[in-house]
């Protein structure tokens, strides 16, 4: 193997030390140099396991040839290679670059083993381009922080060891070693935003400011540091506005925060729930319509199949779910197998002791009355229910309001009724006295799963 070149492009120390590595290997010059550097470091004992992954996007006529090149190169180096074919969605609305990147990262995350480190060959010039792209999109400190050298990723970690190295240094290293790599002609197409910056904008800037790329990359590093400091305070502020339900925040507590901090807290909250990033227009709507809404208003903001909703003194987040069809009428007969509901979700009887689904069947074995024929339907208005330990019935609407059930949950809540149409239960939140006694006699409980349907 050729001798290691100068300068030393890999960091002297890294949190990736002694961990198994998965190298993202496109076959281009950057990933080719990274693969050779890591292989040499492995020989010196810094890593004991190393393998590579090549993502085949199928977007170029030479894509098969590129995959074969990567296979030959890895075979010659004795590096196990996994080639993964992906389908790049053309209708995601994010553009071809973003769609390909999303497909690539999905393949990386799926392949990464627990505790393994994904090593990618992004370098200082990539960092400068990312900083500019995000600045042009109006990003804050998190976005301007661009690419982090080390972070959690899927079941393991993501490491970018070359972020301090310039593209020219990698090219010099490849030539000094006599390495072979492939050239993707798409990298020269100025129709792509990143390529336009790389080939048109940055060279122009460097005529006036020769260190422009290094300066942009340094600014990205400073923004990342500022973001980390702000993040600690954001986490404390989020803790101060949380409720026992992780999907809700206190409106009164939110209003006690300064508006800029409030925006950061909302983004952090949404991210922590695993929901799509909250767009800027959503933050504006929270500020202008939701936080100051009258008590009889329930404003909402929806995006990518999820929604923020204001109800009473709480801000709710969660997936959008369709309401039950008004004409819904389902028979539920003994032995009462779990009943699937339109649009997702189900009703089932569960063992009161262990929560496992159970078919009650005929009640003869307990000596109780035979199991009745039940029906499930949508709410139509005007229903009443007699709760346990109550002498008379109450308006179901008022019962659900008193129990704090939000309107959008009520709209999806199935009603369980008997043969005469008397309401036995609303979901599993309000259960009638008669059904409660029937369930207790069989050591059962009614369980309603609303489902998590993304529209």
Q: Annotated binding residues, as ranges? A: 26-31
127-164 b/e with 16+ CB inside 10 Å = b? Answer: bbbbbbbbbeeebbbbbbbbbebeeebbebbbbbbbbb
C-alpha 21/C-alpha 39 separation (Å) is 10
**Three-state DSSP class for 447?**
strand
C-alpha 422/C-alpha 445 separation (Å) is 19
Q: Are 123 and 167 in contact (CB under 8 A)?
A: yes
DSSP state of 109: H
Question: Which residues, 6 or more positions from 192, have their beta carbon under 8 angstroms from its beta carbon?
Answer: 96, 97, 186
3-state helix, strand, coil in the chain (%, to 5): 40, 20, 45
C-alpha 150/C-alpha 165 separation (Å) is 16
List the beta bridge partners of residue 374.
332
C-alpha 213/C-alpha 223 separation (Å) is 15
C-alpha 156/C-alpha 60 separation (Å) is 30
C-alpha 308/C-alpha 310 separation (Å) is 7
Of the candidates 179, 133, 204, the one whose C-alpha atom is nearest the C-alpha of residue 1 is 179
Query: Which residues make up each annotated binding site for ATP?
Result: 26-31
Q: Are 39 and 33 in contact (CB under 8 A)?
A: no
């Amino acid at each position: 193997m050729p001798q290691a070149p100068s300068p030393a492009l890999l960091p002297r120390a890294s949190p990736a030390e002694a961990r198994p590595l998965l190298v993202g290997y496109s076959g281009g010059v950057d990933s080719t140099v990274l693969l050779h550097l890591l292989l040499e470091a492995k020989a010196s004992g810094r890593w004991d396991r190393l393998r590579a992954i090549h993502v085949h996007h199928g977007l170029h006529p030479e894509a098969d040839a590129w995959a074969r090149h990567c296979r030959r190169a890895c075979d010659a180096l004795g590096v196990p290679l996994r080639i993964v074919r992906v389908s790049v969605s053309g209708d995601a609305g994010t553009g071809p670059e973003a769609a390909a990147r999303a497909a690539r990262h999905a393949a990386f995350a799926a392949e990464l083993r627990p505790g393994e480190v994904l090593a990618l060959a992004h370098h200082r010039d990539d960092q400068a381009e990312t900083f500019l792209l995000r600045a042009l999109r109006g990003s804050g400190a998190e976005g301007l922080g661009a690419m982090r050298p080390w972070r959690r990723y899927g079941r393991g970690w993501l490491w970018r060891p070359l972020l301090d190295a310039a593209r020219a240094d990698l090219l010099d290293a490849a030539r000094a070693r006599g390495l072979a790599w492939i050239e993707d002609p798409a990298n020269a197409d100025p129709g792509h935003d990143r390529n336009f910056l790389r080939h048109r904008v940055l060279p122009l800037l460097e005529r006036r400011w020769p260190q422009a790329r290094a300066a942009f990359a340094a600014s990205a590093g400073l923004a990342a540091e500022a973001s980390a400091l702000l993040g600690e305070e954001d986490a404390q502020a989020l803790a101060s506005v949380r409720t026992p339900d992780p999907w809700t925040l206190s409106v009164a507590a939110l209003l006690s925060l300064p508006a800029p901090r409030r925006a950061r807290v909302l983004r952090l909250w949404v991210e922590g729930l695993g929901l799509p990033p909250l767009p800027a227009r959503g933050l504006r709507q929270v500020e202008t319509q939701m936080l100051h809404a009258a008590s009889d208003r329930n404003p909402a903001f929806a995006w990518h199949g999820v929604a923020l909703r204001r109800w009473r003194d709480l801000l709710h987040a969660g997936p959008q779910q369709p309401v039950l069809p008004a004409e819904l009428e389902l028979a539920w007969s003994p032995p009462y197998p779990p009943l699937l509901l339109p649009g997702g979700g189900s009703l089932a009887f569960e063992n009161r002791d262990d929560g496992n689904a159970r078919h009650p069947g005929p009640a003869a074995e307990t000596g109780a009355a035979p199991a009745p024929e039940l029906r499930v339907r949508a709410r139509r208005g005007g229903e009443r229910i007699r709760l346990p330990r109550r002498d008379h019935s109450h308006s179901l609407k008022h019962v659900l309001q008193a129990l704090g059930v939000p309107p959008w949950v009520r709209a999806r809540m199935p009603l369980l009724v008997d043969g005469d149409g008397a309401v036995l239960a609303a979901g599993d939140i309000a259960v009638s006295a008669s059904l409660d006694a029937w369930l207790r006699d069989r050591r059962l409980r009614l369980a309603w799963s609303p489902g998590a349907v993304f529209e």
